[in-house]
Structure 1
């Protein structure tokens, strides 16, 4: 799946997808090539980690900062979207996380297995979410065969205890899990949904402004992290 098809799949219009794709492959790539950060267009990069490293250098360029302000954040959004695309389609992030667990000498063998299962949404972590939510946390859909066990505070940002904490998890339908994981939606302290202005075709994704989730006190710190570092950082509300 190429970048433009992925943007279409997550609900962006063709016009928006074309804007991001063009900005990435031509304009931003041109700045990066001129600054000798890369030799080929950014779209030739298929490693999420390599792209993150290059993107940070691009964001430090004066021309990028000036044009990004004039473009109301469009260029930074294009970079963020391509990073999300690579994370979503390469499988690299999950594999790296599993390798980090396996190489962690401070964890016992059984602890490593527990954490790996939690990372891929299985095992005890998933069962605890099923027991807690009884179904999709947002819609109430109860057939757990179709539901995804998702971390609120991303796995990579969590410590060993947080990774296994059932209050750092939501049980969601796949479409809702995807938009939450990518930062297109988040939830306020009261449980009300907050939707990024960049998310298009909301009805097709089953998302509406009146959606609500029941959050307990133990969920709040995790959701606050999601609002600040996943939702607001990536899409700026």
Structure 2
């Protein structure tokens, strides 16, 4: 949120404001974010009051407003969404109408969610410390299809390598409210195999690499243990 931050400077140029003005606005938005409130971020009284209703609207409607923010940003950059996110749409170029619009919105939102989650974990797998972006996934704790309201919540995301993302998604591993990894009975049935010893044996009770901002929400982790992980432990 510093006025010397290169992203702040770039945004300021795009919207025709000073970097200092943008930094102040960001601080005021942070002051209404519960995470930053807990860190003691105060902001300015007048600015905070202006930001509160915008923040509330966004939190209640993340999917539409995150997409809208990306559309406006692309417009400021003199780009279309198709140009800015070209790689996301190659396989849906023949879709038409509402079907294409829904798919475009979903892919852009998922892409932004991935950026947020990877940044939150310093672009490292929270289990293995792998730091190759192409091998990392923004893994949802509560699955995407289960809760629309939490799809884009950074507290519902963990940065995992592709292997551990799949294991987490299928309930073969879980994460406790103390941020420790647990291994399912189904997976432990393979304990005598080389790949288990190589990739899973050391995970039991291993502490998660914690993010720099938004911790995984404990209620979400418990939901995963109760509804996804538990299926592999009966």
- Which of 1 and 2 has greater Rg? 2
Q: TM-score of the superposition, structure 2-length normalised?
A: 0.48
Please report the TM-score for the alignment, with normalisation by the length of structure 1.
Answer: 0.47
